[in-house]
Amino acid sequence: MARAPSLDEAVDLFLDQLKVERGLSVHTVEAYGRDLGRLLRELVGRGRARADEVTPLDVTEHLMALTTAKLAPRSRARALVAIRGLFRYLVAERYLEVDPTALIDAPKTGRRSPGVLGEEAVRTLLAQPRRDTPRGLRDAAMMELTYASGLRVSELVGLPIADLNLGAGVVRVTGKGKKTRLVPIGAAARATLADYVAQVRPRWLRRPDEPAMFLTPRGRAMTRQGFWKLLGRYARAAGVRLPGAEVSPHKLRHSFATHLVEHGADLRAVQVMLGHADIATTELYTHVSRARIVEQVRRHHPRR
């Protein structure tokens, strides 16, 4: 176990790691720095000098002070993400043995988790396009790829055909901040995409150098609005609904992530596939249903 650094040193090490190793944006790193600077000022006032002197009570009382200062719940939740990230980093680097934030719950933000389609609802939705027609095959390919890979709608419609590797079963995605990631795609999506690429795209292609993967019959790249509308149309035809919300590309992306987690996928792997810079975002958007948790305990606990 390495000697615990001073609080100032600990924060500097953590922020450097965010910039250099994790490649977070300057704006994000500065936001972390502001939240941690506020914590440091309070800890120094309490007589804390080194990271291993910080207790769970220190962190809890700091969060209570933020509440007293009338910081919004989401600002307090963001501060806890920064603080938790700092101490997780120190534990991972063996500067600390115990994370003082481990048992602290995030403040309620009032943010609703996006709706999730059940697996049967997704199967019903994906079965709607008529794959024996050019439009239907294109629509099916777009829907299958979204559910297979969790792409954002902007990533989907902006996908160049050169970034699809059907042989390897992966797609290279350029996400927020121009960061790229490789995402695997399953057999069902690969088969539908192969049919679209072989049968439909060449028929609609107007320019040989057109990079877009998904085209309209006039040879133009599909738009976000176009995919949004066709997905909603298929959902209505299938009778697939979400309480108080419409079925959208983001709902399909969120369903992809939730179903992975419910089937035992590692949260870090889901984070990479979604293109989230921070694991806290993945934790927010990939909740596991209570019924699923109960079922897992009953199935796997040794004293079930």
The residues assigned a catalytic role are 152, 176, 250, 253, 276, 285
Q: In whole angstroms, give the CA distance from residue 279 to residue 301.
A: 27
- Please report where in the chains the tokens 């709706």 appear, as a residue: 115
Q: What angle do CA 173, 86, 37 make, to 5 degrees?
A: 110
Q: In whole angstroms, give the CA distance from residue 156 to residue 142.
A: 8
Within 10 angstroms of residue 174's Cβ, the number of other Cβ atoms is 16
Contact 203, 134 (CB under 8 A): yes
Burial of residue 195 (CB within 10 Å: 0-12, 13-18, 19+) is: middle
DSSP for residue 38: H
Q: What angle do CA 48, 52, 55 make, to 5 degrees?
A: 70
CA contacts within 13 A on the Cβ side of 219: 9
Q: What are the structure tokens assigned to 233, written together?
A: 């149309």
Q: How far is CA 166 from CA 119, 194, 219, 295, in A?
A: 25, 7, 22, 36
Q: In whole angstroms, give the CA distance from residue 266 to residue 277.
A: 16
> Virtual CA dihedral for 1, 10, 282, 267, nearest 10 degrees?
-10
Q: In whole angstroms, give the CA distance from residue 32 to residue 10.
A: 13
